[in-house]
Structure 1
Amino acid sequence: MSGRWFHWPLLATLAVMIALVGATPPAALAAPATGAPGAVSSSDIATECAGKPVRVAARWYFPPGQPTALVWLQHGFSRTAANLDALARSYADAGFLVVSPTLDSVNLGGCAVAYNVADNAAFARTIGGVFGSGRELDSPLAASLLRARDSAGRPDVTMPYRMVFSGHSAGGEFVVVAADSLRRADPVAYRRLAGLMLFDPVNSFFGVNFASAAASLGADRLPVRVIASQPSVSNNFGQGVSVLEQTTQQRFLGSRLVTGIHIDAEGESTDLIGELSELAVPRPRNGRVIRALANGWSSDMVAGTVTATYYPGGRYYDLLLETRTVTTLPVR
């Protein structure tokens, strides 16, 4: 989940423990969704990596009506799309069409969500290109949506023009690198990207892909919002957030949860591996704050607006400050 190669033996051991004891995740902890329930279906996305064709499993989440934008929601190291299910449903309830791929965590060819045993920058660039071509009727992303909407009984849904790249942990790094690649390779498609919504992003132990991509996007003034947890081993002691504070040139970057842990973004969708890696369970209050701010900030990115209540000086945000729920991330 942290995107570090040295966590893999621990996580593998935890997985064996879960299999032996037959453990299951705890009951749902977060507040129920506020909108009408949307349909969910699965559909692979055809792409390639290391010169070979691959099919990436993905979950599609449909809003009650026509979507306002597409959200690419990417999980972190040792995780799957299922671990972000609660967050994805919240996005869909807020009017977004969400696609949440499941990527490998370790791959000798670099076809993974994290840079660990091999550089995954080329894979991130390839996946970013898939989203860049998403509105083309013959594109792999559009084909995946067609299958998913038929399965979900939502033939009315069409691919939105605007999109937000969103990622948790190592998935945050992955979407940042993908976004900068899209900026360089396809400026027309890049104009569709409204911004980045990152949940406790973690930069890989190797390389400078994250830092260089963040600096390039910062120079381009792409909107970036971050919800961070407290520094810990799981997020490499907050180094990913520090990079963003120094490079993205935002007037307002985001917030840090005062009692936050790395798996708060997963909420009730986490599992025993996540809980054992933190020696804690997600706090329902933090999950509600994460979803409220992410939906508000993402909606503003798409619409080009500023909904005052979600920012310093606004009623909701200032209440979070007053109750010591969040602090505001500094920017350079």
Structure 2
Amino acid sequence: MQADWYFPEDADESTRLIYFQHGFLASGPIYSYTIAHLAERTDSIIVAPSLSSNFFSPSAEWVGGSTVQRAVADLFVGDRAALTESASAAAGYDVSLPEKFVLVGHSAGGTLVTSVAGFLADNGAIADLQGIVILDGVEPAGSPFVSSALSKLRGADYRPIYLISSDRYFWSRNGDMADKLQLARPEDFNGVNLVGGRHIDYMLGGNKIIQFAEYLTAGFSKPQNIDAAEILMAGWVNDLFSGTQSQGVYGSPGEQISIPTPAGTADAVVLPLGYPARPVWNPVLEAVLTAIFDFGGRNWFVYEPLPGHGVPVGGQAIRACAVSSCFR
């Protein structure tokens, strides 16, 4: 699989490592601005693999399938040879990657990184995982992975999971991820809802045509929500690495929080997720689209390899993208 790497210009022993996963029908480069800003705000090396969205894959080798999720978890086992080889190829020199890492994922990528954490508990590599940040995570109907992972991330394997949720509407599966987190961890701080948030608040890249198409598909983002999303994710990532709650935004259930940004003040509400004052989309359109995609999730999407189509997972490598990104 192809991967884009983002490196600090002067990496040292304080530099961190983040694995960033795109969502369904997306790729790593679509998030280039989002990832570069996150890397700069957190002094992190970030790897952003581009995975298939072919949910008909009989071997479940797509962003929502278990084969890829287990393969990603295996990247962090032992000496992490595949990750190190890829990082060194992208940088053009031998790279020694930080041991501690955080998982960040958007949409279906949020399901993937949560599932990966569960598989890390299985393969013994969870010790270096500091936590997970989910950007409007979406798990298709029929997928068992989030619930399975949450059942494993307890006791010694417990890791914080922070979610930024859009309003309830089709592209967030009507807040399904927020509800699952709240059900599994009712006493925890699980994240916030950006009021008026849209599913594309976290997808900033350099191609204006693709960016406009994203807005047409999922709704136009408020500029202050885009800025607030960057502030939230960077603050939480910094706190996950430091083991504190000094830089991120936190609060009590239902608490309303104002987040000052260069584009104006964004409003957030601490989970559990409520309901918008008015439907985001036409309710009939919402119901039709939801029914179609839920039927596909339960009947067409391949989450586990079909009989005779399983593939070995251990030892798979990430191929470095030809161009890495550096920032000051």
Q: Check whether TM > 0.5.
A: yes
In structure 1, give the amino acid aligned to 2:16: A
In structure 2, give the amino acid aligned to 1:176: T
Q: Secondary structure at the match of 1:173?
A: helix
Deviation at 1:284, TM superposition (A): 2.0
Higher helix share: 1
Q: Any conservation in 2 of the 1:221–1:249 contact (CA below 8 Å)? A: no
Alignment of 1:64 with 2:27, yes or no, is no
Q: Any conservation in 1 of the 2:102–2:129 contact (CA below 8 Å)? A: yes
Give the one of 296, 300, 303 matched to 2:239.
300
Q: Secondary structure at the match of 1:320?
A: strand
Q: Any conservation in 2 of the 1:75–1:169 contact (CA below 8 Å)? A: yes
Deviation at 1:308, TM superposition (A): 5.6
- Number of the residue aligned with 1:204: 140
- Number of the residue aligned with 1:162: 100
Structure 1 segments (4+ residues) deviating >6 Å: none
Mapped partners of 1:218, 1:255: distance in 2:
22
Deviation at 1:108, TM superposition (A): 3.3
Q: How many residues align?
A: 258
- Number of the residue aligned with 2:83: 141
Mapped partners of 2:20, 2:59: distance in 1:
23
Change (3 A) 1:250 1:199: farther
Deviations 1:236-278 (A, max 9, x none): 1111221111114562111110010001011355634422321
Deviation at 1:231, TM superposition (A): 1.2
Deviation at 1:324, TM superposition (A): 6.1
Mapped partners of 2:231, 2:266: distance in 1:
16
Deviation at 1:85, TM superposition (A): 1.3
Q: Secondary structure at the match of 2:244?
A: coil
Change (3 A) 1:293 1:157: farther
Deviations 1:112-140 (A, max 9, x none): 012xxxxx11320111111334x44xx11
Mapped partners of 2:134, 2:267: distance in 1:
18
TM-score normalised by structure 1 residue count: 0.72
Mapped partners of 1:77, 1:113: distance in 2:
7
Alignment of 1:184 with 2:122, yes or no, is yes
Mapped partners of 2:127, 2:185: distance in 1:
18
Deviation at 1:171, TM superposition (A): 0.4
- Number of the residue aligned with 1:328: 270
- Number of the residue aligned with 2:37: 90
- Number of the residue aligned with 1:81: 28
Alignment of 1:123 with 2:68, yes or no, is yes
* Matched ranges for 1:1-332 at <5 A: 56-66=1-11, 68-94=15-41, 95-106=43-54, 107-114=57-64, 120-133=65-78, 135-136=79-80, 139-150=81-92, 155=93, 157-186=95-124, 189-218=125-154, 220-248=157-185, 251-268=188-205, 271-278=211-218, 280-307=219-246, 310-312=249-251, 318-320=257-259, 325-330=267-272
Mapped partners of 1:271, 1:110: distance in 2:
29
Deviation at 1:156, TM superposition (A): 7.7
TM-score normalised by structure 2 residue count: 0.73
Deviations 1:7-43 (A, max 9, x none): xxxxxxxxxxxxxxxxxxxxxxxxxxxxxxxxxxxxx
Runs of 5+ in structure 2 lacking a partner? 274-328
Q: Secondary structure at the match of 2:171?
A: coil
Change (3 A) 1:318 1:241: closer
Q: Any conservation in 1 of the 2:103–2:132 contact (CA below 8 Å)? A: yes
Q: Any conservation in 1 of the 2:103–2:131 contact (CA below 8 Å)? A: yes
Say which is worse superposed, 60-69 or 103-112, in terms of deviation.
60-69
Mapped partners of 2:184, 2:151: distance in 1:
5
